[in-house]
Amino acid sequence: MNTINLKHGIWVMVADGEKALFLKNAGDNKFPNLEVVQVMEQENPPTRDQGSDSPGRHNDGPSAHRSAVEDTDWHRIGKERFAEEIAAKLYKLAHRGAFDSLVLVAPPLVLGAMRKKLHKEVEDKVAAEIPKTLTNHAVFEIETLLRAA
């Protein structure tokens, strides 16, 4: 795996299904100094707190037998929607020229959902992707983990 060049001015976007941190390196590759530029948050309670009805049912054909339909995973849908919002935000920032290089750090599900929605202008600036959840880490821990990546 290639080491990540945390050059001066590179942006690091750390996200999960509920929170996104936009960080900018005010230091250099050897001594990164990530500063929080912006924070995005979304309320996304577990599915059990969002679902309201019992699962739907459907007929299995001409008999009287009926099968349950799988419950909607509202929590996962919320994560995917939030990933789309992050992608839109990254496009606005890239379009304004806020960053010329970007590292994406997010769990695989969020990274995948975001990747589908990233604009070409943002895609061209992605220097690295790290499939990990780091949103609950302090900024100095994120710096250390990125240096090790």
Q: Phi/psi of residue 106, each to 5°?
A: -165, 160
Q: Reduced to 3 states, what is the DSSP secondary structure of residue 149?
A: coil
Half-sphere exposure of 141 (CA within 13 A, CB side): 7
Q: Reduced to 3 states, what is the DSSP secondary structure of residue 11?
A: strand
Tens digits of residue pLDDT in 103-134: 999 999 899 999 999 999 999 999 999 999 99
Which residues fall within 8 angstroms of residue 58, CB to CB, at 6 or more apart? 66, 67, 69
The confidence band for 1, taking pLDDT boundaries of 50, 70 and 90, is very low
Q: What does the block give as tokens for 16? A: 């999960």
Domains of the chain and CATH, by start: 11-39+73-148 (3.30.420.60)
Chain centroid to Cα 80, Å, comes to: 9
Say whether pTM exceeds 0.85.
no
